[in-house]
Amino acid sequence: MRKMIRHFCDFIFGKHRNNNLPRVWILAVDTFIVLFAYIVAVLMYFSKDLANLTINWKYIWIYPLPYLIAFLISKTYDGMLRYSGFNDIRKILSSCTLTLVFYVVSKLLFIKFWTIVAVKVYPPFVIIFYHYLITMVMMIILRLVIRRLYNESYKNQNSKQNTIIYGAGDGGTMLLRTLTQDTSSKMKVVAFVDDNPKRVGTQINTIKILSPSMVMKEDFIKKNRIEIMVLAIPSLDEKRSREIIEQGLALNLIVKSIPAFDKWVDGKISTNQIQDIKIEDLLGRKPIILGKSNVIREIYEKVVLVTGAAGSIGSEICRQVMQYKPSKLIMLDQAESPMYDFQFEMNNTDDFKDKRDKMAFVITNVKDPIRMREVFEMYHPQVVFHAAAYKHVPFMEENAYEAVFVNVFGTKLVADLAMEFGVEKFVMISTDKAVNPTNVMGATKRIAEIYTQSRQSKTKFITTRFGNVLGSNGSVVPLFRKQIEKGGPITVTDRRITRFFMTIPEACSLVLEAGSIGEGGDIFVFDMGEKVKIWDLAEKMRKLAHKPEIEIIETGLRPGEKLYEEVLANEENTIKTDNEKIMHAIVRKYEASDVDAMFNKLHEALETCDPMKIVAQMKVIVPEFKSNNSIFSQLDK
């Protein structure tokens, strides 16, 4: 029987079964239904008096015409038959009713003003009404039958994965409808799970709604061979959502979710919108969403320079800056290949590709005085976001010369040029590792902070500090992903190690906001949320990948690495700003003359290329710099 249905569908759909059936076919079939329905209506009218049955074949072509016009207006032919639903039925109801009203009104008018035409052309009112009902019912039945035949014929015959939907509200109901209609879906819904006791025990389309206490147990999962759980409550708060996700992961389920209601298309959700749970969903912090008015004021129609533009932070700053319509955005980096990829992205992104004349891409190093001066002379930037820096702690322990040259003197060069060319604001991207630094990288960032904070000019210098960002180049998240893809092991330096985390877009939006509210000499720190244990992060990523067999091992702290990051936001060293997510750090002030003297000595040490002399002078500038590196720690004695 199934083969017969399949052959029939192949004949009907042909090569179009994976695309849309030609619209003209549907319109032609609907027109035929109108004609057929008229004949049936006439037969029904004369069923008790067949001897007097008459069909005026001369004017029969007139009857489909108003319906055809109504179909074109309502676009009843525009939907995919295999996905026919309420909207399609609504279109049929409205078009047929519109035609009925037209027939009734026009016949009444003809009866009053042109009776002969009304008698010859128009059938009795009863036939018009029968015709209306039969046409409407047949069109609806056709669509439902075609959808059923298609689903039965082309339903994925591969083994489906038993699925539970957590949430039996609007989201869950719509998800079930989507999965039922999508023949390519490999998810078979076997139960709903809902926290609301009033829903428990009822059904949605024959699918039972069960309580979490019944379903979220290992024996139930194994007995029903459940593999997937889809969280279908878009409005659920983050804490409860995280609890449910972690429950599912603990039961070795593949956990997915659906997007917020405002991201649905025409009130519907597609299977493509069913999302895998990301590690960001499990970090226990609410996303930071900021207003735009302050940033618009600072960036709109201004020339903006971003150094380190090809990096994780720099590139996201560029993307966000472009949304505020600068007159020109200069993106500068020394990394050729990443910069080439970033240029291709920006030039081909829908939001930006028509703004190519407002973007400039520059390859150079921030420590090159000739080239950097040329950039400032050519573009005269009004706002500078300085994100260029070396940031990998172990590398910089081994390359103190380069760390100081780029992070300290590169920053000094860009800052000096900013003052010389009248830049309005200079925003430096720093790090939480600059707080009581234990490594060369953190110390270089603190020294750069000291220099920019000591500069008093028309240029307003603002520093922003934050911790680790998820997914940035070199961060633990992409590292863990690579290790998981290779089959492990996942390496964690110490089981006790903790870090602060936020997403790249959040960090960059805070940078833009802090830059807009800064008045010069400010150091802003961000609300990074709660500390995250790296070991727990690794375990969660292993669960998300469904590879419990992968081992997590400790490798020991690397040179210069901290076990715990400093707490950035407490009442002792910060004061509040108007934005609750941004705090103003209270730090020691330095006189420009003192800073210049210290920098001269640091430059003399740099010229020796001797790491010990360089780090020794760094410790003079930053007395709180206590190295964790055994090589440099002897300088603390």
How many Å separate Cα 358 from the centre of its chain? 26
With contact defined as beta carbons under 8 Å apart, do 619 and 636 qualify? yes
Provide the β-strand partners of residue 124: none
- Residue 378, pLDDT > 50, answer yes
Give the three-state DSSP class for 175.
helix
Judge if pTM exceeds 0.75: no
Nearest to 100 by CA among 55, 70, 62, 73: 70
**What domains can you pick out in the chain, each with its CATH number?**
2-154 (no CATH), 161-277 (3.40.50.720), 293-631 (3.40.50.720)
Express each pLDDT in 59-113 by its tens digit: 666 777 777 777 777 776 665 555 555 667 777 787 888 878 877 777 777 676 7
Residues marked active site are found at: 433
Express each pLDDT in 392-401 by its tens digit: 888 899 999 9
What is the rounded average pLDDT for all residues in the chain? Answer: 81
Which region among 176-180, 572-576, 626-630 has the lowest average model confidence (pLDDT)? 572-576
Nearest to 314 by CA among 287, 288, 339: 339
Express each pLDDT in 422-436 by its tens digit: 999 999 999 888 888
> What gap in Å lies between CA 50 and CA 134, rounded to an integer?
20
pLDDT class of 445 with cuts at 50, 70, 90: very high
pLDDT class of 181 with cuts at 50, 70, 90: confident
Contacts of 7 (CB under 8 A, 6+ apart): none
With contact defined as beta carbons under 8 Å apart, do 538 and 475 qualify? no
> What gap in Å lies between CA 142 and CA 76, rounded to an integer?
13
How many Å separate Cα 417 from the centre of its chain? 37
> What gap in Å lies between CA 386 and CA 423, rounded to an integer?
12
**Phi, psi at 449, each rounded to 5°:** -60, -45
> Which one of 218-222, 379-383, 467-471, 578-582 scores highest in mean pLDDT?
379-383
Provide the β-strand partners of residue 210: 193
Q: Higher confidence at residue 351 or residue 420?
A: 420
Contacts of 439 (CB under 8 A, 6+ apart): 393, 396, 397, 433, 559, 560, 561, 562, 627, 628, 629
pLDDT class of 121 with cuts at 50, 70, 90: low
Query: Looking at residue 84, what is its pLDDT?
Result: 59
Nearest to 415 by CA among 305, 333, 296: 305
